[in-house]
Each structure stands twice: as C-alpha cells, then as structure tokens.
Chains A and B, each alone.
Chain A
C-alpha cells in the first residue's frame, strides 16, 4: 500500500540550512506536498511540486524530487526560530485525491 516516511526529529542552529527528507512508495502520485504545523495549530501549506518536476524554489524554500528513488526533500535556507514546527510530507493519491501523510519531522531551531 501507499506509505510515506520521514525522520522524526531535526535540530539546527539559527542561520543554518535545514534539510528535511521524505520517501514515498506510490510512483503514480501526481503531486507531493510540504505542510507546516505549529503547536496547537492546523496545517499550513508551504509548497508543493508536480511529479514531472525535479526542483522548485520559493524564496527560502527549495524542494527537490528524485522520482526514480521516490525521495523528496525540503531545504530551508537561513533557518529562523520561527521555522520551528512539525513538517509533514504528503503524497496525493492519484485517484480521488486522498492525501497520504508522513509522520512528520519536528524541526527545532536553536539560537
């Protein structure tokens, strides 16, 4: 079945780059997403990438997609303390649009 996996924790220093990794199993996924969740809040869409792209950049965020290895990453440049949150990777089921989420990576940014 479909499965999305992420490492659970990442700790970086303020100003460094953060790289959050994700692997997925459904090769027919059309879109892959990154959502951010701050404590006690809902999911905020950060960015997404279409499956025929291999990179997308949006300000401090860079998404890399390796479709052959089914590997997705989110790079946050110049990480700030406000970036501390849980980051969820998700793939979209090609039929019906259901989102399959990873278990989330908790990013901790230390001053």
Chain B
C-alpha cells in the first residue's frame, strides 16, 4: 500500500545532542511537510519542500533543519534539542501542480514522538 512512513516511532535524545528524524513515502508526491505537535495542541508547520525547494516558516527556529536527498525521503534535523522541543513530529506529503497553487490533500505519517532528557 502506498503510504507515508516515519522512523523511529519514538526517539529519546539528550539535551543538546543532535537528533535526526526520518520520513519516507511511496506515494511519489512532490511536496513533503514537517509539522511539530505539542501535547494538546494543533500541528504547527515547520517547513516544507516543494520538489527540491526548501520553504521555511517564518517562526521556525534555526535549530530545526531539513534535508530532502530525493523524492522519497525527507529528514528533520534538530541541531541542539532543548526540553521545549519534546513533541510529536509529523511528516506529510501531497501533490502540488505549482508552488503558488494549493495542492491536493495532505497525507500524514504516524509521527515520531521525541523525548528530550
């Protein structure tokens, strides 16, 4: 089945120790998104890739970076995790015909829950 896969499902890291979360998709969608969702809150978009073009949200901290080596994979790097970065991180994908037009439905992965000790 075509899907969005996130690994690992749970990640524990230490304060200040870099961590990478991964997302892969078999949907062949051209857009991939990373959201942060803190407890009892709505998901908040961090950034997205339109093909290889990176689009950062204005209020995303510099501590968060992303890489997309190919269509199928996208990584979220947290350079120096703080206690406030503990959250669920959700990856999503969609098809979008052009950067300035709304794309199709976003499909989400199961999420990676990050714990910072």
Contact B108 A44 (CB under 8 A): yes
Report A5-48 residues with CB < 8 Å from chain B CB. 30-31, 33, 35, 40-45, 48
Q: With an 8 A cutoff between CB atoms, is B111 at the interface? A: yes
How many A-B pairs have beta carbons closer than 8 Å: the answer is 59
- Interface of B, secondary structure class, is loop
Q: Are B90 and A99 in contact (CB under 8 A)?
A: no
User: B41–A42 contact, CB under 8 A?
Assistant: no
Interface residue B73 (Cβ < 8 Å from any Cβ of A): no
A31 touches B102 (CB 8 A): yes
Contact with B along A79-97 (1 / 0, CB 8 A): 0000000001000111111
| Interface size range on B against A | 20 to 34
- A95 B42 Cβ-Cβ under 8 A: no
In this assembly, does B59 line the interface, its C-beta being within 8 Å of a C-beta of chain A?
A: no
Chain B interface residues (CB < 8 Å from chain A) = 4, 6, 31, 40-43, 45, 48, 55, 90, 92, 94, 96, 99-103, 105-111, 113
Q: Which A residues fall within an 8 A CB radius of B?
A: 4, 30-31, 33, 35, 40-45, 48, 88, 92-99, 101-104
